[in-house]
A = this chain, B = another copy of it.
Amino acid sequence: MDLFTTAAGLLAYAETARRAGQRIGFVPTMGALHDGHLQLVRAAANDCDVVIASIFVNPTQFNNPEDFRLYPRLPETDADLLRSAGCTALFLPSVEEMYPQPAVLKFNFGALESVMEGAHRPGHFNGVATVVSKLFHLVRPHRAYFGQKDWQQVAVVKQLVADLSFDLEIVAYPTIREADGLAMSSRNRRLTPEERAVAPQLYQALAQAAEQVRQGMPPAQVQAGALATLAREPRFTPEYFEVADAQTLQPLTDYAPGRAVVLCLAVHLGAVRLIDNVIVSLG
Residues in A lying within 8 Å of B, measured CB to CB: 7, 11, 18-19, 21, 98, 101, 103-112, 129-130, 133-134, 137-138, 140, 159-160, 162-167
Contacts and interface: CB of A to CB of B under 8 A. Distances in A.
B107 A11 contact: no
Given A18-B19, A165-B7, A167-B11, A106 B107 contact: yes
Nearest to A19: B19
A260 to B, nearest CB: 18
26 contacts: A18-B19, A19-B21, A101-B162, A103-B163, A104-B109, A104-B110, A104-B159, A104-B163, A105-B108, A105-B109, A105-B159, A105-B160, A106-B107, A106-B108, A106-B109, A107-B107, A107-B108, A108-B108, A130-B164, A133-B165, A137-B165, A137-B166, A137-B167, A138-B165, A138-B167, A140-B167
Nearest to A101: B162
Number of copies: 2
> What are the 4 tightest A-B residue pairs by CB atom distance, in nearest-first order?
A134-B165, A103-B163, A133-B164, A106-B108
Given A138-B167, A165-B133, A110 B101 contact: no
Nearest to A138: B165
A164 B108 CA distance: 15
A98 B165 CA distance: 8
A91 to B, nearest CB: 12
Q: For A103, A104, A130, which residue has the most chain B Cβ atoms within 10 angstroms?
A: A104
A105 B133 contact: no
A164 B134 contact: yes
A106 B138 CA distance: 23
A18 B104 CA distance: 30
Contacts of A104: 109-112, 159, 163
Contacts of A140: 167
Q: For A105, A107, A137, A163, which residue has the most chain B Cβ atoms within 10 angstroms?
A: A105
A267 to B, nearest CB: 28
Contacts of A137: 164-167
Nearest to A18: B18
A163 B107 CA distance: 11
Contact of A105 (B19, B103, B107, B167): B107
A137 B106 CA distance: 19
A106 B101 contact: no
A167 B133 CA distance: 11
A104 B157 CA distance: 12
Nearest to A165: B134
Nearest to A164: B133
Given A106-B108, A107-B105, A108-B105, A130 B19 contact: no
